[in-house]
Each structure stands twice: as C-alpha cells, then as structure tokens.
Amino acid sequence: MATDKKFTSLAGREKIVGNSEKLLNVLEKIENIAQSNANILVLGESGTGKELIAHIIHENSLRAEGPFIPVDCASLPENLLESELFGHERGAYTGAFSSKPGIVEYAHGGTILLDEIAELSLPLQSKFLRVLQERHFRRVGGRKLIEVDCRVISATNRNIVEAVQEGCFREDLYYRLNVISLQLPPLREMKEDIPLLCDHYLDHFNRENCRRIKALSPQAMDLLTRYDWPGNVRELQNVIERSVALCQGDVILPEHLPEYVRESGGVSGIRLSLPFEEAKKEMIDIFEKKYLNQLLGKTGGNITRAARIAGVNRKTIHRLLEKHGLARKGDK
C-alpha cells in the first residue's frame, strides 16, 4: 500500500495537495510508470487534474528535458486541429502563406498530451493511429515524411470504452493509447483532502488579492466536506476564490459559500419555518439540482448518456435543466 509514503521525492509533488489513500495510490502508480516510454491513458471526471497529472508524469520521465505540449482536442474544429497537430505546407489551404510545423513536430523528444481525446474525429483518429504505428507523418499539403519520437499521454472524462462500442472511437487506436491506464478518483472519494485543499487555496487567494483571511469557520468547513463536488478540485478552487472575495472579516463563514453548497447539508438544511408542502418542494428542488449537477459532471455534459443512467428520456433531462436554470452550452 502507498499510505506509508508521501512521495516527496517525486518531481512536482508540491503541486498535488493531499495525503488521502486514493491520492497516494495514484502517486505510487505515477512513480512506477513515469520512466517507461509506454503511452498512458488518464481517465477522470472534469476537474480532477488530468493535465496536472500528465505534466507530473512527464517531469518524472526520461523525457523530462524535452517539451511537454498539451492539446485540447475539443477546442478546435477538425480542419484547424489537423493543421495544429501536423502542421501545413505553404499553399495547403486558403490563408496558408507559409509553412508551419505542427504540435507533433514540436513535441519531438518530449511528451504530447491529447486532452479530451474522445472528441477527436474519426479521420483524425486514423491519421494519429498511423503516427503511433509508423512514427512519421506528413504535414497538411506536404509530401515529405517527417520522423517523430514523442510519448503520448491521452486524457478524457468520457467513458471511452462506451465510445468504442458505439463506433465513435477506433478500437485499434484505443489499444495503442491505453497501454497503461490511470484512473483519477473524484474529490467526493477523497474528502479527507478537502481541509488541506481549502488551506492551500485560501493561502493562494490571500496572496493574490492582498487579503489576510485566517481560516474557514468549522461550520463552513463542515458544509464543504459534506458537499459532493461534481466539478471536483476545480469547483472547490472556484468556491474558495469566491469566498475570499465576499468575506469582509478574517474568517470565512457559511454565508460566504454559494447557496448550493449551503443547501447540500441535507436534512439539517430543512427550513421548519415553512409549511410542509413548501418545505417538501424546496427539498425536492435541492435534490434535483444536486442530482443533475453530479450526473452531468459524470457524463461530461452528455444528455443522452445522462438520460440513460437516470432511466428517463432526454426531454425530461432538458426540462429539469431549464426548470433549475442549469442548461449549459456544452450539454449535448
């Protein structure tokens, strides 16, 4: 077991806050796999720190002196992403007035992170598979084969096995990328790390905003540890930043936390001043919002998958999202 070690000799360990058993088990696996050249697939919900973990793997690898280049596969349309990944030659398309190397070339001798790999289109999946198999490629509009030597770390918050089964992701590419898999636990499974994370972000935002807030009150900390954090560490960071901005004293109180975090106290949050039916409706609304937030966090905003897990149709999910003002641009 990893629980008797803190992995302080691991390069970049200071960037990872926490000592829970599940986190230490992740660090133990990083220590074991970092110096291998095998491709790695990092799995985890949104906000669990997949890019940070990938960077730490790189920092502890034999390629640590080389470049680490992250690519967000979901942020660019297919035509631009191909050019970004593989570069282009002059005249390859309208506006290509000069030749330009791609990210894969720049990653030579180092590590490339393909974040949100499950969003890669099938044509680009095919092209990247050839790069992994043959270790060379051509720029867009080019003829010359360019040799490349880089380690590939991929990351996704989707169920990629399900994407393979649905025909959205190539099975052969999946096996090429998933030589080693690393599953990152969600924050709700590492609640003993929440006080350490709160202290870390409180110190950070104190310095960033020239504040001198000393601590969170026991009541505020209790609410934070009860909440399930569908947005994981990124959501916790945002909540602490907000609380620092709202707090006018030297201690963060429950009133400085978002309403949805305060409501997460469950039965203890029932307002007995309300008539039974009103209190019941309020608690149902709280449950529905919490359930939807966690469900969409788990599915990466995929409405179809969320409906399947919940056992309802897509229209029901859309209706509840509209009812609670939770509809998001990325939900699909």
* C-alpha span between 163 and 222 (Å, rounded): 38
Q: What is the mean pLDDT of the chain?
A: 88
Q: What is the share, in percent, of the chain residues with pLDDT greater than 90?
A: 55
Amino acid at 165: Q
- Determine the pLDDT at residue 288: 85
Cα separations (Å) of 45 from 78, 285, 325? 24, 24, 22
Which of 117, 326, 2, 287 is closest to 10 using CA atoms? 2
What is the pLDDT averaged over residues 44-70? Answer: 95
Please write the tens of the pLDDT for every residue from 213-254.
Answer: 999 999 999 999 988 898 999 999 999 999 999 999 999 999
For residue 31 the two structure tokens come to 């220590």
Q: pTM score > 0.85 for this model?
A: no
Please write the tens of the pLDDT for every residue from 115-143.
Answer: 999 999 999 899 889 999 988 888 888 88
Which of 153, 160, 196 is closest to 52 using CA atoms? 153
Please write the tens of the pLDDT for every residue from 259-293.
Answer: 888 877 644 456 666 788 887 887 788 788 888 88
> Domains in the chain, ordered, with CATH?
13-185 (3.40.50.300), 188-269 (1.10.8.60), 272-332 (1.10.10.60)
Residue with tokens 């992403």, as numbered in its chain? 81
Answer yes or no: are the C-beta atoms of 235 and 48 closer than 8 Å: no
Cα separations (Å) of 19 from 7, 141, 216, 246? 10, 50, 20, 29
Which of 127, 90, 129, 132 is closest to 107 using CA atoms? 132
Answer yes or no: are the C-beta atoms of 17 and 23 closer than 8 Å: no
Lowest mean pLDDT among 1-10, 164-173, 281-290, 312-321: 1-10
- Determine the pLDDT at residue 1: 36
* C-alpha span between 84 and 170 (Å, rounded): 21
Torsion on CA atoms 136, 104, 80, 332, rounded to nearest 10: 110
